[in-house]
Structure 1
Amino acid sequence: METIGLYVHVPYCVSKCPYCDFYSLPAGEEGMDRYTQAVIRALKDNPFGPRNADTLYFGGGTPILLGARRLGAILEAASSQYGLSSGSEITLEANPYSTLQGTLRELKAAGFNRVSFGLQSAIPSQLKILGRRHTAEDARTAVEDAFRAGFQNVSLDLMLGIPQQTAEDVETSIQFCADTGVQHISAYLLKIEPGTPFAARYREEDFDPDLQADIYLRAVDRLESLGYRQYEISNFARPGFESRHNLKYWLLEPYLGVGPSAHSCLDGRRFYFPRDVESFSAAPSPFSLAVDDGPGGSLEEYLMLRLRLTQGVSLREAQIRYPQFDPAGFIRRARPLEAGGFLWATEEGFALTPQGFLVSNEVIARLILSESTNCN
């Protein structure tokens, strides 16, 4: 029986950040109760047959707003149905202002063992620009509370390229994160999403690409110097604390997503739930709402996702997994990019350099040109 990852999308937030285009809405007790029961129905009644899972990730939204009782009930259902054990990675996203030490203790007792806090910046003016409600000290307290509650795997998220941000600001925020003792740090470049308040407020020319590049490269250097090893474009960890769940996405391993807007890749197909919590919560069989999104697991997708990882692409593995893969053609396309400093050769293939990560979409597009045949 294959082992999968589970994802639960919790669509509730206290307020929506101006840069965010994830599906979210205000929290209400009655609505959260209906939603919780629908998630449990979906986990128990999925039409894909028995599966074992070794990761469960609650994303959002702000999942911790559900409270320990509802989150514990979902975890219990997932554990019963998918064989989650004490060795499984069970992650919860939380915002620092929404965290209470008592709730964290209850969640740890229920089986959660990893928590990820959305700090974004330790600079007050940048938190204000982002519309965040917490302070850096709120984040420090949240991390301390998590450690006191028994969590030994804690992550902080940072945002790079915030308007008016300097490379020195980023280094200050990184040092703040390291000083809290967290084991994992994510550092994402801000992307202006269509339809968000940020899209109306800022234009592309408001962001200096040279400054963005300097911010990213200095962030990578600083994180590495503090012992956080880069393993993906935007993710850094102490050895052994990489996100096991997120690695499933990049390694093209199967995962099942539950909740409005959640996506899945299972049995060679992709599908998703519509962005409608009311329909999801009211459905006797939530998977009846799932929308087919075509085949998953193509060679093109495999190469694209593997190149997000610092380990890069293994030519031998690609050829074993996809008999149609042409390693000689891939090498021909890779050599000019290697000479330009965007790729480096590994023992098994090629990987993006930090400079390559900065323009990863363009580099990957050149590498996977003509590699578009599905594996199914």
Structure 2
Amino acid sequence: MFGLYIHVPFCASRCGYCDFNTYTPSETASTFDAYLTALDTELRLADTEPADTVFIGGGTPSLLGAGGLARIMDMVRDHVGVRPGAEVTTESNPESTDPRFFAELLQAGFTRVSLGMQSASAPVLRVLDRRHTPGRAVAAAREARAAGFEHVNLDMMYGTPTETDDDVRSTLDAILSADVDHVSAYSLIVEDGTALARRIRRGELPPPREDVYAERYEMIAAALEGAGFGWYEVSNWAKPGGECRHNLIYWRGGHWWGAGPGAHSYIGRRRFFNVKRPERYTQLLAAGELPVGGGEQISDEEHHFEQVMLGLRLREGIPTGWVGEGAQGVVEKHARAGLLTVGERIAVTGAGRLLADGIVTDILAAE
């Protein structure tokens, strides 16, 4: 499968934990129209095959409105092509959506919506500098379902400073009331240079704790799996048939083209990325140049590392033959501890999910 990722670099405001390539109105002179014109040129210049999946992320793609997102899909169809039955997803922030937005998205050919919820707790949302109210994400998910979307995802975040067990329980209760078929749950990562990192460094907020991460993850897994969601990647759960096909391309080592400022691509063992600033991005494309900022050829060793690292995060695991003879003892040790299953494939167990990164490190070091 081949995926097309499109990055929308705009946000109305910056969340305190975010270090993505995004820009508020005060941080860029680029306009939506200039971005869309440049994106049209990039997709026309791109030498790709038709897409099996399209994922519009950001940033806040919903700031473009349903009309702007429909315009992007027209560009994709005209310049890249979309295979029959393709999965077409957009991320959206709850506060920039409404019932009409979802109805127009469905008409434009979108098949999936991913909503950034993070938490149903007002204090947690304030710590994260999120703008939406606690109930808006659930209301948006219901609006998407009512519009006819079969696949709706809610993102939640856990481990936020000041967050309590009750905050996590209330978020899970809200999610389970929303009639979605996919949930992504990510532990908060405090990135250097963010507002949140500065607040923790000044002592205004306590730093996250690994033991709390583990406890919260187990709460989330138990609640979702008890409600009929199956985990298929360490941080992702879905009802049957609700798995995100685009993200599976990443985890299975497939190929994708990334369009938009700062977007990354991976084609034929070559990884490359676009320039980050929207102004430079539009300038290069106005001159008829692809906005590539750099790249690298992936060695066999690097490719193997990524296959094992990403594959062992999936419930399906990896073929046993991918692991070298030198690591067989490590695999057997983790299997005896109940952290891996071993047969034609090697996979982490439910208990092994929390330790997946360490297991991968052990295997690769032994090889």
TM-score over 0.5 (shorter chain): yes
The 3 A distance-change label for structure 1 pair 88 and 215 is same
SS in 1 for 2:3: strand
Moved more, 65-74 or 182-191: 65-74
Consecutive unaligned residues in structure 1, runs of 5 or more: 319-324, 372-376
| Residues 139 and 178, structure 2, Cα contact 8 Å, conserved in 1 | no
TM-score by length of 2: 0.92
Counterpart check, 1:277 vs 2:278: yes
1:166 aligned residue:
164
The 3 A distance-change label for structure 1 pair 355 and 168 is farther
Q: How does 1:171-182 map to 2 (within 5 A)?
A: 171-182=169-180
Q: How does 1:200-279 map to 2 (within 5 A)?
A: 200-202=198-200, 206-279=207-280
| Residues 116 and 154, structure 1, Cα contact 8 Å, conserved in 2 | yes
Query: Take 1:231 and 1:118, find their aligned partners in 2: how far apart are those partners?
Result: 20
Note the C-alpha offset of 1:261: 1.4
Identity fraction in percent: 37
SS in 2 for 1:12: coil
SS in 1 for 2:177: helix
Q: How many residues align?
A: 358
Question: CA-to-partner distance for each residue in 1:139-170, whole Å, 9 max, x for gaps?
Answer: 12211221222211110000011112233422
Aligned with residue 294 of structure 1, among 292, 297, 309: 297
Counterpart check, 1:330 vs 2:327: yes
Aligned with residue 314 of structure 1, among 310, 319, 337: 319
Query: Take 2:103 and 2:171, find their aligned partners in 1: how far apart are those partners?
Result: 27
1:339 aligned residue:
336
1:89 aligned residue:
87
Query: Take 1:347 and 1:267, find their aligned partners in 2: how far apart are those partners?
Result: 30
Note the C-alpha offset of 1:205: 7.1
1:322 aligned residue:
none
Query: Take 2:148 and 2:39, find their aligned partners in 1: how far apart are those partners?
Result: 27
The 3 A distance-change label for structure 1 pair 125 and 299 is same
Query: Take 2:197 and 2:226, find their aligned partners in 1: how far apart are those partners?
Result: 35
Note the C-alpha offset of 1:177: 0.6
Query: Take 1:87 and 1:337, find their aligned partners in 2: how far apart are those partners?
Result: 40
Query: Take 2:139 and 2:295, find their aligned partners in 1: how far apart are those partners?
Result: 43
| Residues 344 and 351, structure 1, Cα contact 8 Å, conserved in 2 | yes
Query: Take 1:114 and 1:5, find their aligned partners in 2: how far apart are those partners?
Result: 15
Counterpart check, 1:137 vs 2:140: no
SS in 2 for 1:231: strand
The 3 A distance-change label for structure 1 pair 29 and 104 is farther
Q: How does 1:34-113 map to 2 (within 5 A)?
A: 34-46=34-46, 48=47, 50-85=48-83, 87-113=85-111
Note the C-alpha offset of 1:137: 1.9
1:321 aligned residue:
none
Note the C-alpha offset of 1:198: 1.1
| Residues 93 and 115, structure 1, Cα contact 8 Å, conserved in 2 | yes
Counterpart check, 1:350 vs 2:351: no
